[in-house]
Chains A and B, each alone.
Chain A
Amino acid sequence: MIGSAVIVFRETLEAALIMGIIAAATRGVPARNRWLILGVGIGIVGSLIVASLTGRIADLAEGTGQELFNAVVLGIAVAMLAWHNIWMTRHGVELARAAKQLGSDVVSGTREMSALGIVIALAILREGSETVLFLYGMLAGGEQSIGSVLVGGALGLGGGVLAGFGLYAGFLRIPVKWFFSVTSGLILLLAASMSSQAAKFLVQADVLPSLGSPIWDTSSLLSNNTSLASLLHAFIGYEATPAGIQVAFYATALILILVGMRLSRLRPATLPLTQ
């Protein structure tokens, strides 16, 4: 029971932390909760579908379909996060101003929430499908009773959700002055970390060269096995032994999004009148 709780917790944690960051970043956006719930719902249904198709996905592209699938899912999430940050830089101020006049911001709120709803759905889909497979295996293996597997799974899931909520509650305590910078900074790092993960999968599938495997090794400082490392992995994409190309992807995503944010701040902002 404890074993399955720990594994489900580990798989849930990353998606829960991503959700915590996004929920905080969209504080005050109208209809936010509806989009969050929709994202979670689609993610859960999606993870059941992906779990049932895992074998077929894996067999694609000479046994590297899983990596390509993960890389595409991560790539879409990166694009959505990047768009959110660039868009928010331009419209954040107006959005805050307009929030006082009810109605005018509903359209823009819907737009930016749909992008983040997709990110949540994709995060749950990726981590959730592995959890579904694991629990299915525990049940099919018959090593443990159904009750013990389900209780363990529920405990792990509950723990992960609790961590996400804890993070969200913590973010809400950040003073308003820094709030926007902190959340957009975290989303920026999340996007960079996801693009580094996408690069890792493409190296594993032999689509990209590794450019040094690893390019450096900080295992002696902070090993990947520690819980601090997994937390840092979820937030900023820490890895003790990254491939060179992962670092390149990370830096490129970081720079491109920052440049996009800077450019959109320079140009006069105009709110779209029609959808």
Chain B
Amino acid sequence: MKLLLVVCLLFPVSLWAAEGDFTVTIKDHRFDPAEVRIPADKKIKLLISNLDATPEEFESHDLNREKVITPNGKVTIFIGPLKPGRYLFFGEFHQDTAQGAVIVE
């Protein structure tokens, strides 16, 4: 039963993450990977899944984005096309640990 549930949970993710998508997970109020490398001048899809039991708000002044992610929730955020550079993002609800950056190259 548990296994079935795990399989069911994994299945939509694998369908969902197409090529050109970038996945970040939140665990223990940290982003993994903390640095996401994406190509310049291209619109990309950032998939963020929150493995924590608490909500988080993905926020970035540099990228001009904000979005709440529920406990164990997944969200899609479109970013770009961007110029090369380093764009910081953070989790507003746990700012002391949840820090990351999108590196456009």
Contact = CB atoms under 8 A, between A and B. Distances in A.
Contacts of A243: 64
Nearest to B87: A241
A239 B64 contact: yes
B80 interface: yes
A55 interface: yes
B81 interface: yes
A66 interface: yes
A84 interface: no
A63 B76 contact: yes
A58 interface: yes
A113 B70 CA distance: 35
Interface string A235-265: 0000111110000000000000000000000
Contact of B76 (A64, A137, A203): A64
Interface in A134-159: 134, 136-138, 140-141
B45 to A, nearest CB: 8
Interface in A203-241: 203-206, 210, 213-214, 223-225, 239-241
How big is chain B's contact interface, by range? 20 to 34
Interface centre among A133, A223, A225, by most chain B C-beta atoms within 10 angstroms, is A133
B23 interface: no
A270 B103 CA distance: 59
Interface string B72-83: 011111101110
B22 interface: no
Contact of B70 (A55, A67, A141, A203): A55
Given A130-B68, A204-B77, A213-B80, 15 more contacts: A55-B70, A58-B69, A58-B70, A58-B73, A63-B76, A64-B78, A67-B67, A136-B55, A137-B56, A137-B71, A200-B64, A204-B65, A205-B78, A206-B45, A213-B64
Interface of B: 16, 43, 45, 47, 52-57, 61-62, 64-65, 67-71, 73-78, 80-82, 92-93
